[in-house]
Amino acid sequence: MLHKADTSATWAVVGALGLFFIGGLLTTVVPPLVDTTWAKPFENSDPAKGPTGKLLPYTGLEKQGHAIYVREGCWYCHTQQTRTLLADTKRSGWRGVDSPVSTPDEFVFDAPHMFGTKRTGPDLSRVGGKYDEQWHRTHFRNPRDLVQGSIMPPYPWLVDNPQEFKAIVAYLQRLGRAKNWRPDGDFEK
């Protein structure tokens, strides 16, 4: 058979596609069948097992914020996944405590999910509670007022629309908070 693939283009192409298909199945279809906890919302109420917390469904306001995040293309520049890299867990960390790595059970209510691919801006998977509402107001109006040299565009229309501003901030403030990993007292809004 290997000899055939060497001498016949059809065999080579069919063989390559077959192997590609098997690779696709093994990396996309099989993992969620093997580990079914991924499809359930994150929940850990046992302190002995580590940080406690629970992933709640989006409220109406947060859903609206998610839609604005999609509409404004925030995901062109921002990812929402803390990878297994030290640079990520430190960047997403809080007061000297490294953040946990993102897991699938933190994203079950996201449709569509906003993992993103391009990290022009910092990752937002653990941004919830990092800044207060006033910070976001100033930052959306003009990022350069807070972060010198920031290349994030201003979004004054979000600030001028009180309902939309409330929604996008509610959405940002819940990101990454299901796992109650921050030192006590710093976690709640």
Q: Which stretch binds ligand HEC (CB under 6 A): 25-33, 46-54, 56-64, 150-158?
A: 150-158
The torsion of the CA quartet 27, 33, 37, 38, rounded to 10 degrees, works out to 30
Q: Is 120 in the site for ligand HEC (CB under 6 A)?
A: yes
Please identify, among the stretches 12-20, 25-33, 66-74, 100-108, the one whose residues bind ligand HEC according to the rule CB under 6 A.
66-74
For ligand HEC, give the closer residue by CB, 21 or 76: 76
Task: Report how far residue 186's alpha carbon sits from residue 166's, in angstroms, rounded to the nearest whole number.
Answer: 21
d(CA 91, CA 36): 30
- Distance set, CA 99 to CA 30, 137, 183 (Å): 28, 25, 11
Tell me how far apart the alpha carbons of residues 101 and 13 are, in angstroms, rounded to a whole number.
39
Out of 55, 66, 78, 114, name the contact with ligand HEC by CB under 6 A: 78
Q: What CA–CA distance (Å, rounded) separates 72 from 97?
A: 32
Q: Shortest approach of ligand HEC to residue 41 CB, angstroms?
A: 23
Q: Which segment (33-41, 56-64, 74-82, 95-103) binds ligand HEC by CB under 6 A?
A: 74-82
| Interface contacts to ligand HEC, rule CB under 6 A | 69, 72-74, 76-78, 120-122, 124, 127, 130, 143, 147, 150-153, 155, 168, 172
